[in-house]
Amino acid sequence: MELKERTLKTTVLVPFEFYASYSLSIRETSHTHHWTLKLFVTGIPRNGMVIDILKLREITNPHIERIANTYLNENEVLDQRQAEYPTCEMLCMHFFSHVAPQLEGYDVELSGVEVEIREPEGNEWGSARLEVD
């Protein structure tokens, strides 16, 4: 089948980085981590792009700024469960619920959100990825 007969969607990956501290029941002492948020935006490239990356940054940066350099367990921007368990999984849900509605009207979909956690020195702990069907 020729490509011109198919509708091809493209996914753009845009990373954001910030530092924030937290504690969990398994490690109650507050400690800081380097976090990376990755947004996956899917759509049909119009005018050569799926979405203007600068526009996506403009939409997302205020949400990053509200949690960057804070103690996540006491951050009022996070809902109660997210603040109680400020894990990669919970932060994926937080960013999805805030960014996805702001992309309405752009003819794109926030198809995935990944949050990675590392020590400030760079040692990676892992990540969680939320995917939309």
pLDDT digits (tens, 9 = 90+) for 36-75: 999 999 999 989 999 999 999 999 999 999 999 999 999 9
Asked whether residue 78 carries a pLDDT value surpassing 80, the answer given is yes
User: Of all helices (H) and strands (E), which one includes residue 42?
Assistant: strand 27-43
Query: Quick one: tokens of 69?
Result: 């350099």
Identify which of 118, 123, 114, 77 has the alpha carbon closest to the alpha carbon of residue 98: 77
pLDDT for 4 = 60
Q: Which fold has domain 3-131?
A: Tetrahydropterin Synthase; Chain A (3.30.479)
103 Cβ contact list (under 8 Å, min separation 6): 41, 51, 59, 109, 110
Q: Which two tokens stand for residue 52?
A: 């203007």
